[in-house]
Every structure is written in C-alpha cells, then in structure tokens.
Amino acid sequence: MVNQMKIGIIDYGIGNLGSVYEALNELGVTSCLVNRPSEMHTFDKLVLPGVGGFKSCKATLDDFGWTEAIQEEVLGFNKPILGICLGMQLLADFGAEGVAKDEFTKGLGLIPGKVVSLKSLGCKERVPHVGWDDVTSSVSSHYLMSGIPDGTDFYFVHSYAFIPDNLDVISASCYYGGVDITAAVSQKNIWGTQFHPEKSSKAGYKLLQNFIDGNQC
C-alpha cells in the first residue's frame, strides 16, 4: 500500500538522488525529484541529498534560487526536511571546505553551527572516513533514531563534520580516529544524517521510515 504522503527529493544537480529515490519507493511512499525551487511547496516533506564539496554545492543552491526557497519552506512553513551527508552539513551556518584557512562559506543556516575538517578535530585515522561504522544515540535522542539499537552500523563517506552550537541537537554520534563525530542532528522539523541511510541496509531504511512517520518535535 502506497503512503499518501509526498516527499520531494531536491535535485540541484548534485547528489545521490537515485538511491534515495529507490529507498523511499521501496518503503511505499510517493517520492519525486524536485527540479525547481517553486515545486517544493507541493510536497509534505523534503530530502536534501549531497555529494561533493560544501562551497561548490552551496554556490549551486545560491545560483539557482534554492537557498531562499528552502529557508522559506523549512523556517517559514515548518516543512520537515532531512539532509543526507553533505546535505546535513549544508544545514549549518558555515562550512570550511573549499576555502582558505580561517575562512568559511555561508550555509543554509537552518541549525546553528559550523562544518570543519576531521583532521582539524584531531582525527588520527584515514580521511575520508569511508565505510561502515557504529552509531550511538544521544541521551535525548530524537524520534529519528527510534527503534535503532546503539552500536548499529551505518555507511559513511566524508572528510568534514558538523559541529552544532547547541550539542542538544545531536541525535547520534560516531567515534572515529579518536574523535566524536556528529552522525545525526535534529531540531524541530529539521533532521540530518552524516551517514547514508539509503545505503545502510535495514537500519537505514528504518531511519527513513522514522522520517516518513515522524511528526515535528
């Protein structure tokens, strides 16, 4: 039975769109690629995928009118959004990837915080962080991680990490190379995962189902 909810996958020319689309369809929800900012208003929830660099992807969002439109939908109309991988990082105020030292690119500003390199955090393992790694939910974990046991493996591919201003928005974390990495964030109607749920087997599908079913919190 198909869920009557409509989820729009933001297609700004960058990202893991096919795998996200297939995962949502397998879960029985109606999902479509959103090709123009004006189309977002017709969907119940949004997914912001992302693969590549913070600076270049944000420039694309700016140049094609996505930035203001996403801010209006999410902050103005309280529309739920799930950022995946770089899509989660873009939720932040600022990102350090692709710019000179001590400089930042302005993000979407949906969850206060910044995105910095794993090496700058003191990561002692290989970067990028690629592969399966276990995730632990926070004490005040959001519905996003509901029904997912601590220690469950998810699939990561990243060299930068989101450091939120308010640590209470961290729904889950991952320990890698001697540092704690923000694995998932949530603030009211705004959710994000550093890992790829659409590539993370049953646990990833459970998280996507939580996003489909979840109310604003």
pLDDT at 59: 94
List 129, 142, 158, 196, catalytic entry = 196
Does 142 qualify as catalytic in the annotation?
Answer: no
Instruction: Quote the tokens at residue 85.
Output: 């991988």
Share of the chain above pLDDT 90, in %: 85
Give the residue ranges of the chain where pLDDT is below 70.
1-3, 15-16, 139-141, 215-217
Does 103 qualify as catalytic in the annotation?
Answer: no
pLDDT digits (tens, 9 = 90+) for 133-178: 999 998 666 788 999 999 999 999 999 999 999 999 999 999 999 9
Considering the segment(s) 3-213 as one domain, its CATH architecture is 3-Layer(aba) Sandwich (3.40)
Residues sharing a CB contact under 8 Å with residue 76, sequence separation 6 or more, in sequence order: none
How many CA within 13 A on the CB side of residue 148?
A: 31
List 85, 97, 129, 174, catalytic entry = 85
How many Å apart are CA 204 and CA 154, to the nearest integer?
7
pTM: 0.94
Q: How do the domains of the chain map onto residue ranges? A: 3-213
3-state SS class at 209: helix
List 57, 73, 129, 198, catalytic entry = 198
Does 85 qualify as catalytic in the annotation?
Answer: yes
Helix axes 17-26, 201-213, angle to 10 degrees: 70
